[in-house]
Amino acid sequence: MPKGIWRLTVRSDFAAAHSLRNYCGKCEALHGHNFGVEATVEGGILTPDTELLVDFKVLKNALKQVLDGLDHCVLNETPPFDTCNPSSENLARHIYRHMAPLVQPHGVRMHSVTVSEKQAQSATYMEVDE
């Protein structure tokens, strides 16, 4: 019999300015975005009392905690983006790695984080076992 898993997703956003180093185009100049963020966790065991994987409130609070450090900042002046490019790809990895230890005690693991600068384009980060 196949083993089932559940995936839960929460969405939020934050506003920040950034410039892409070494871009050779308009985005090398300082500009802002309302970044959209989608964080997905997964797990295989529901709580016995409420039959939930994890309360959405827990996930929303964890995501908010990470995004509060990025909201209304100049990302290029905010670690680690003072030394690495504040691209959507790097933002997704940063959010994933900072959110993972916040959700792990609740019996779930991070699946992915997606960051979008506009609705039509996004970058997704996930970690896979090799």
Residues annotated as part of the active site: 27, 72, 117
For residue 28, give the H/E element and its range. Answer: none
Q: How is residue 119 annotated by DSSP?
A: T
**Is 98 labeled as ligand-binding?**
no
**Is 111 labeled as ligand-binding?**
no
Q: What is the number of residues in the chain?
A: 130
Q: Where are the alpha helices (DSSP H) in 1-130?
A: 56-68, 88-103
Cα separation, 59 vs 41, whole angstroms: 8
Cα separation, 6 vs 46, whole angstroms: 9
Binding-site positions for Zn(2+): 18, 31, 33
